[in-house]
Each structure stands twice: as C-alpha cells, then as structure tokens.
Structure 1
Amino acid sequence: MKPYELYTVEDFLEDEHFREWVQGRGTQEVFWLAFRERYPAQQEAFRQAEHIIRAAHVEDSRISEREIRAEVERFIGQSGAQEGDLEFSFPDDDDDAGRSIFWKRWLIAAAAVLVLGAGIGWHYYQTNHTAPGIATADTSPPNLVTTRNDTDKTLKISLNDGSEVILSENSSLRYPSEFEDGARVVYLTGEALFSVKKQGQTFMVHTGKVVTKVLGTRFVVSAFDDDREIRVQVQTGKVSVYVDKPSEKEVKGLIITANQAAVFEKSANQLSKTVVENPERLPDGPVESILKYDEVPLPVILRDIEKLYGIPVQFDADSFWTCKITVAFSDESMYDKLSILCKTVSAGYEVVDGQIIVSGQGCSK
C-alpha cells in the first residue's frame, strides 16, 4: 500500500490514479473523495496538486509573447534549481527511480508548453477568430479555474465549499479555486446539475444574461450557446432566477420551487415559469406515493397530488366537491394522474405560470 500519510504535492502529481480522478476519468471516486478526511495532514498538498492538474484549463491571460517566454524560462529555471533538493520515488515501485524523475520533468515541460501555448493561442484567437452568429458575452472575472467536459460522460466537480456539480458533456464551468467572502459565484456554459451546500453565502450561477441565485438546494441549469432558451429546473428547495442586465424591455425575476422551471427565451428576452417535463415526487413529501381513494371528493385528491409533487393546483373547489372518485394510483406520472381524474369528471387541465389549472363544469348534486 502506498504511504499516503507522507504524500507531497509531487507524489500526488505522479500518482496516475489521482490524475485520472481529477480529470474525471478515474475509477476510484469514493477513495479520493474521502482522502482528505482520512489523511488530514495531506489536505494542503492534495488541494495544490488538484489545482495544478486543473490549471491546464485556466483561462488565458492577456500578456505579450515576450512576457510569456520570460515566465516560462523563469519557471523552468526555478524547477531545475530545486530538482536536486527533492527526492522522488513511487510508493509501490522503489526500484524505478528513473520513472519518477521522468514524470517530474514531464510535468515541468508540460506546464511550460501550456503557458506558452496559452499565450500564443489567445493571440491567434484574437487576430483570426470570428464567431458565427451571436456569441454570448463573457463577463466573468479573469484567473478562474475552468473545467471542460469533452467526454461522452458526465463529470463530477467538487467545489471547495462542499457543493458538487455534475457537468454534462460538451459543457464547461468556471469557478474560483476558493470562494472568498461574499457570494459564491460560478459561470456555466452548457448544462450541469448543482447540489449546493447550504451556507450563509448565496450561491450564484451565471449563464449568459441569466443568473440563478440560491442558498442551498439541488437544481439543473441548461444554457448551451446554440439553444434558443436558457432553462433552470429545480429538484429540491427554492431558487431565484433573474436577468443580470435587463434591456429596455423589463424582465422580472422569478422564484421557482421543486418541479418548476424558469425559461428564458433569448430572442424575445422573456423569462417565464413553467412545470418540468417529468415531475418527480418530493423525497420528503407528507403524502404516500401510493394513493387509493374510495368515493373521495375530487378536491381532496387534487390537494394530495399538489403535496406529492409540490406544484400548486388551482381549481374551483365548490364545483368539484360533489365529484366523488374511486381510484388507485401508484407509478403513474403526475400528468397521467391528472388526465385520469379529469376524464372521469369531464374536466381538463393546463400548465400556467408554473401551476396546474383544472377547469370544468363540475358534477351535479
């Protein structure tokens, strides 16, 4: 077993399983997530190594090529001067010292090429790139860590406040390596599921013009540049959604709760509230998931559905109180339940502003 209690930054960088985990390709997810609690003395080295590996995606700085080359030479010079003072060995392969030196030199060379390439790449982009169509303006601050998911699987990101982000494919998230005093702010392009740890600081997700603001909850944000709309869907808790910089046409903010969604239509600059496509039962709901009724007034059943999914259901209670229903629900979707009830009493329903509106003539006495 490797002597993890003695691990340094260099040991983490040389550990192939650690590198793969940071890059979202590893198979030891549980082990590395629990590492800092098991080896508290290695927390700082763990954090520094993780940031170094993620640094391959740090946004490019606007510096000249001359400054870039000088920085690379300084970096290589300092690393070379310190090489003799450091001893490296693989915990499971003490005889293969050459492999350890190889990895250290490889990391130094890779970092140097990265810094130089980032500067040259930025210069090329600025002078030669023209984005087709309408591009989303990047208003995020510089020097943020950027994690991009170019794989065909989701990628888990653990933020330093304890929050977790499940990043979808072809998506990227920009965030500070450590949240400072004030709001916790991240910048998303694409789609991600956020599980925000509740703290005194608000947590804000910027997606182009739209800002999602929460204290602690679970929600999905979908904001691909090519999509016509930005969508925020709440799984648990409550979030606030608003437009960061409204145009001349006023756009009001919204409060959405579980199974509701906020939709911002880019072309119309319009923000609206709706119900998610597949509402899920609330995990701690006060109503049993299996609903059985024998000659029960329809308003009672509708209120149970409202509590089961957390979505407001509006109807005329007086008109429907004489409608007695006998039915047993189990795995049907919320919409299927509503369809069955409405057909029974010749009524109908529609989704309006994040609510369910049931209408009909009711039942005769």
Structure 2
Amino acid sequence: MINYRTYEAEDFLFDESFRQWTAEGSPQAAVFWNRWLAQNPDRADVVRQARELVRALDDHYRDDASDDRLTHELTKLMNKAVEHRDAESEAPVLPLNRRSWWRWAAAASVLLVGISTWLYLNRVPKPAPDPYEYLTKTVPIPLQEKVNTGPKAINILLSDGSVVTLNPNSRLSYPNHFDATTRTVYLSGEAFFDVMKNPAKPFLIYANKTVTKVLGTSFLVRAYRGEKDVTVMVKTGRVSVYSQKDYELAQQSGLRRVEGVVLTPNQQMTYTLEDNKLVKALVEKPAALIANRPSREQVFEDAPVAKVFSSIERTYGIKLLFDEEALAACLVNVTFNEENLLERLDVICQIIGASYEMLDGQIVITSKGCH
C-alpha cells in the first residue's frame, strides 16, 4: 500500500490512477481520490498542484509527441528521469491510452516548472497569502461562512451542538455537517467556543497559522488578520495549541505526538507570528475571557416554559421553534450556571416531556404539552 501522505506534487504524476482521475475523468478513480481528499484535507494544496501539472502535460504533449522528438528534447533537460514507483497502490487502476513517453514528459515538466518558479520568485516578490482565505478556498469539502460586520457578538450553532460566539469584524467557516473523524472550522478574528464533548471526534480550529485542538471545553481564540500574535485563553477544560506547520508535518509523517502547548483554565497561549513561537502564561484578566459573551447564569422559579425558552434564545442567540399554545401549562423550576446549551435543553425537555432536534441552525422542540 502506498502512503500518499508522503507524496509531493511531482510524485503524484507517476501514479496512473491519479492521472486517470485528472486527465481522463475516470469515475472509478474519482471515487478513490475524492474519498482520500476528504480524509486528508491538509494535502489539498499538494493535490491541486499535482493536478495542474497533469493538465499542463496533457495539453502540451497531446498533438505533436513523437517518441524520437520527445526523447531528443528531454535528454537535453535532464540526465536522469525520475524512476516510476513500482509499489502497489490500493487506488483503482484502469488501462491508459498514454504513450511510453508520458513519464519522461512528466519528469521534464517538473524540472522546467521548478526552474521557472525559482526564476519568478527571485524576480517578483510574492505577497504571503492570507491563511484564512487560502485554507477555506483549498479545503476539498463545501463550507458555509458567517461574517460578523455588526457592533455586537453573534452566536452560531454548529451541527454537533457546539456554540461559537463570533465577535465583531470576524469570520468563521465550517461545514454543514462534520465528517466521521474530526470537527474542523476556520477562524479569522475572535470567537468564544463552547464545544460539545466528543472524545471520538476532536474539534479543530485553524486560525492564522495555528491549530487549536479540543475534545470538549470552552475557550477564546483571537487571530485577527494584521495582528502580530494569535492568542488562545481557556475558560474550562483542556486545550492543545500547535503551530499549523508542526501539526501538519506530524499528520503527514504519521506521528502521534506533536510539539505544542496544553492549556488549562486561567491559562493562555500567545503565538508570535514573527518568531513562530508558542508562549504559555497565566491569564492576567479572566474577565477578558467572556468579553462580549452573554451571561450564562439563569434561575427559573415556577416559570412558564415559553419564558424559559425565550431567555435561552436571548442568552445564546439561537432560535428555538415550539408550539407556545401547546406548552402554555408547562412550568419549570431550575437553575443553570455552567451548563451548555444542549445540556439545558435536555433538562427542560425531561421536565416537560418534550424532545428536540437541530435543523438549519435552529432548534425545533416537540411536545404534547403539560396537563
């Protein structure tokens, strides 16, 4: 089995199923590579580069490509051709309608592209891409984006029940539904995360060259474009923070351990972009952790459930849909403090004999009422 995670762009050129997927649109190959990309989103940029090379080669050599001519031209450019990988791949392999010169053409193209790129980079300064824009455009799965251009924080309910409080001048991109192994979102700006516990599916936040990894906790991430530092401050639970480069290198090499910083309540991490350093410290002003975050303490005594639901809506900024007439006789006695949104709903629904489900960023509550 070939470990495609170790491949660079030029390595993919010699994989027949990869070329079939890119140059020929093979449905069989597409099934394998689309599934592989979904499982390895951090390799999307390398795959994109490889596909561009394959298309360029296919277009360039499609018409005038006699073996004698190609051999003559290519031997001028290189002394040795890149050897074809003979290891067996689990990817589907179909018959190719490509001549034997294809691999020679690919090797020469890699050399030419490398030389051209070096000359261009040394002649024209290229601005560094914005990490948020780059990641959200290259990730191989569809994302939706919330942008907060207003003066107040807004709350976002994710498909797993986690709530993100997005502060002004901030952007968050996330999938409609998380995949089977991870929960990954992308942040530009500042947000408070109240993450539902799920040890089987880590929650990852990519923010300005850092990766924050949690299983279930609450914390603040500040990563505005143009600022020199990224800050992570923990309210509850444990949070691990890594530089994006170190985290992705560990993922690519299959290492289980990667150097990072583990934070606990009242601790913070500052990542200095200029020095690429993670610095751990105590939080000087714990109140800053909940800046622009609504108070989560709620006390209800013989309160109509409609009033309770309205209070939760204001606290979390999440719309609750329910039949107010059917629930008119339901009264609730309960006190909440550190419970998250879904834990509060679990308690209330147990009291009044109701159930709920999350649909399109809203919560629908179903009940036969109280008698």
TM-score, length-normalised on structure 2?
0.38
Q: Which has the higher contact order (CA 8 A, sep 6+)?
A: 2
